[in-house]
Every structure is written in C-alpha cells, then in structure tokens.
Chain A
Amino acid sequence: MPDTPEHTPELTSELTPDAKKKRSQRNLAIALGLFAFVAVVFIVSILKISGNVAGAG
C-alpha cells in the first residue's frame, strides 16, 4: 500500500526495552537525589535552629 497521506503510519518514538530500563533508573536516581537533598536541608535546618535556641537559652 502506498504511503499516501491517508495511509502513512503514525510516527511515534519508542525506546528499546533497555533504554526504558535506563530511563526508569535515571528517574529513580533523580527522585532519590531530590528526596535526599530535602532531607539533608531539613535536618540541617533543625540542627541549626536547635543550636540557636540552646545558645539563646
């Protein structure tokens, strides 16, 4: 069947299974990295605030 405009298959980009796996790993790493950063900032903030409170007391 000729590739007339009506019959041209829809162009979609599809990753290979290995590339999909790597993408999932990258996404997970970003999520973990963000979570770790938020956790570290939270802990550091608590430590600084508690240190300042203790210093003021």
Chain B
Amino acid sequence: MVNRDNTGTSVVDDKSSFAGPRDYFALLKPRVMSLVIFTALVGMIAAVANGASVHPGLAAASLLAIAVGAGASGALNMWWDADIDAVMSRTIARPIPQGLVPRSEAAGFGALLSALSIALLALASNYVAAGLLAFTIFFYVVIYSMWLKRSTPQNIVIGGAAGALPPVVAWAAASGTAPLDAWILFLIIFLWTPPHFWALALYREGDYARAGVPMMPNVAGELSTKKQIFGYSIILVVAGIAPYATGLGGTAYLAISSAFGAGFLLLAWRVFKSQPKSKEAPKQLFAFSILYLFALFAALLAEDLYALYA
C-alpha cells in the first residue's frame, strides 16, 4: 500500500516491504527440511556402509541439494495452498497469509530453488538421483498439493510418498542405484505418514474442516480414522523390523525398533479406545510418532557409523 505523507512524498507501507530473509527461509518449511536432511543422511550413510563410495564433499553437496529441493517444494506448496493456510490456525502465521511474501514471489522462489537443487544434485552425484529429486518435487507439488490434498481423504497416504523418497534419493546419490534396502527406508516413512498425520488431524479436525481439506476424520469420521490409525500402526511396526530381516539393521536396531514399535502400538491402541473428541491420546501419538521415526533412523545411522569407523 502507498500513502502520501504531509510533504507529498508517498510512503510505501506494504507489509511485503518488511519481509526479511527469515520470512523467505520460513517458506522452505525448515522443520520438514531438518527431517528430510536426517533421513537422507541415513540413506546416504547406509549406502556407503553397503559398499558405495562417495567423496565426503560431494556427499555434503548432494545432501544440500536434497535439502534445498525439499525446501523448494515447501515454498511451492505454500504458494498453492495460501488460501488454505490463511484459515488454519496451524498455518496462519506463515509468510504468505501474513502478507509478508507475495504469492508470486513464493512461486518464483520455489521454482528457482527447485531447478537449482536438481541441477546441483545432477552435478554432484548422478542423473538417477537428480531424476528422483525432480520426481519428488513434482509429486509433492502437483500430485499431492494440487490434486490429492483437496480431493480425497487418502491425500496424505498417497502424498506421503514424496516425504518418504529423500533416503532413496540420497542412496541413489551415493551409489547410482536404488536397491531394496533403500525402498525399505521409503516404506517405513510411507507407512508412518498416515498414523502421524491422522493423529494430528484428530486434534485439529476443526482446522481442516474449516479449510475444506478432506482429511480422514472429517470425511470418514473419528472412529474409522482411529481404526485406520491402528491398522497402519501394525503394518508400520512390522515394516520397522524389515531392515533387520534384510541385514540393513543389526541387533541394536532390532531392539530399538521393537521397543519403540511396542510404544507406538500402545499409543495407537489408546487412540482407538479414547473417548470421542478426546485430544490427549492423539496428541501423545503424534508426538511419539516423531520420536519413533527418529529413533529407528538414528539406530540405523549409529550402527552404520560404528561399522564404518569402529
């Protein structure tokens, strides 16, 4: 907005004039980026522990490219979903709903970073990894954000593939291939996504309903969602043990996966048995689900680092 002061000079007081670098950084969804960096790091170290050879500098550049690619898809998601973000309490403080960053700038920022991250990954590693990163960004922005999110309660189930791909991309960056073990890491994150987001949706149901996003609780109902959370939790815990079966994880991994898996199932059961509209059990499961994923991947990382350097 432009106002004229008493000297006749117009003074620009548009909120976007006050956007700082931090606001643009916030477009990259830093918390999601940190999870992507961590899971990609585990995928890369696992590839090295399984025989791949990569220069540490190129590995770091590849991880940077994957992180920036994830951030770019976050910016593009915020560009597309600005109308949804503006009515949800969880997202209303984002830079676009706040008027700090114009939508068009977020789109340009995301598109530019997407192109640069894919080019950098192609340069630092190989075309398989770069192609997978491009597919990940495409899947998150076009398939999930533009298509699935507003049209089906299976949005986060299918869309979860985008969030599950980073360890596969990183594995491919280190080795040029994506073997079964890389896809097991994918499977764990893919199966983890529904109980994680549906637990969130259970205690944020009003938010999603107000925004018109067909999340499972406001389409299929609370009880059906709770049943599906428990069902996915069982499959997730079984998949969580799969790395031990293929040799990707060792005994320590099996112990951690089993212990945290038992905790996950217990909390999912509590959600299933909780009173209607109760928010406590879903909140606990949501928080624990983050810890669960971190514990499994940290266990794999620790085992691989021990095998490489001990």
Chain A residues in the interface with B (C-beta under 8 A): 8-16, 18-19, 22-23, 25-26, 28-29, 37, 40-41, 43-45, 47-48, 51
A47 contacts which of B9, B17, B58 (Cβ < 8 Å)? B58
Q: Are A11 and B8 in contact (CB under 8 A)?
A: yes
Chain B residues within an 8 Å CB radius of A18 = 18
Kindly list 5 other residue pairs between chains A and B, CB separation below 8 angstroms, not including A37-B116, A40-B64, A41-B120: A9-B8, A10-B8, A22-B19, A45-B123, A48-B124
Residue-wise interface mask of B (17-30) relative to A, using a CB-CB cutoff of 8 A (1 in contact, 0 not): 11111001000000
If A13-B2, A22-B17, A22-B19 touch, does A44 touch B8 (CB 8 Å cutoff)? no
Chain B residues in the interface with A (C-beta under 8 A): 2, 4, 7-13, 17-21, 24, 55, 57-58, 61, 64, 116, 120, 123-124
**Nearest Cβ in chain A — how far from B62, in angstroms?**
9
Chain A residues within an 8 Å CB radius of B120 = 37, 40-41, 44
If A9-B7, A40-B64 touch, does A22 touch B20 (CB 8 Å cutoff)? yes
- A selection of 20 A-B contacts at a CB cut-off of 8 Å is A10-B8, A11-B4, A11-B10, A13-B2, A14-B9, A14-B11, A16-B11, A16-B17, A22-B17, A22-B19, A22-B20, A25-B21, A26-B20, A37-B116, A37-B120, A41-B120, A44-B58, A44-B123, A47-B55, A48-B58
